[in-house]
Amino acid sequence: MRVNSLHRIIVGITMSEVKSTIDLIMEKTRGMKLTAEEKDQNRKEKIKREVRLLVLPYLRGEASLGRLRESLSDETLMSAVEVLGEALQIEEDNSRVLEGLRALCGKEKGMASMLEDIRTVLEEYEAHRSQVRTRLESEMLQELARWGISGPAVQPAVDANPLWLDQRKELEKNYTPRLRDAADRLVTSCEKMRSESSQNSDV
């Protein structure tokens, strides 16, 4: 997974930015009384910001999955699942994200099939992308041949072709919502099952 993509999932969470955000919230809410629901939401957002800082080294390959798991408590585990779900990107290598999701909630009932749904979207996208690219490359080779340019050494610059850039953007537009839906279903189901499991254990 490229670092620029990782950067997108931690925008706004550097310590200085967190402090600035907290200061701004304090200024705007001075004299206001938060409801219990608002306090709970603020607590969850604070936990999630802290968890992002734990997940990032794992996604970068700087920390092992075991180390990530050890750094999480029962309270922070679901935030880590959410962060991993948000880290899925249609154009990226998602192997570490999927590995993390499987480790954190793959044992819950039905999670295996939901993980497979995510893999299916990624595989279908890659197959469609490859098909479109191959077709365009063939068309470019034919056009070059008409100009007398041919041979095994000829490599058309597909990646620089505006038509390819437009088609790739259209593919991303079509597949990204499917990926987000699959990821959201997994996160929601994992959270629900863990909540039910916790309630049953308290009985």
Q: What is the pLDDT of residues 70-124, one digit of tens each?
A: 999 888 899 999 999 999 999 999 999 999 999 998 777 788 899 999 999 999 9
Q: Is the dihedral of CA 178, 107, 93, 158 positive or negative?
A: negative
Tell me the pTM.
0.76
pLDDT score recorded for residue 191:
85
CB neighbour class for 68 (10 Å; exposed up to 12, middle 13-18, buried from 19) = buried
Q: What is the pLDDT of residues 157-171, one digit of tens each?
A: 999 999 999 999 999
Longest CA pairwise span in the chain (Å): 79
Average pLDDT estimate for 174-183:
97
Residue 12 has pLDDT above 50, yes or no: no
Percent of the chain residues topping a pLDDT of 70 = 80
Going by the DSSP 8-state scheme, the letter that residue 158 receives in this structure is G
Banded model confidence at residue 11, pLDDT cuts 50, 70, 90: very low
CB neighbour class for 105 (10 Å; exposed up to 12, middle 13-18, buried from 19) = buried
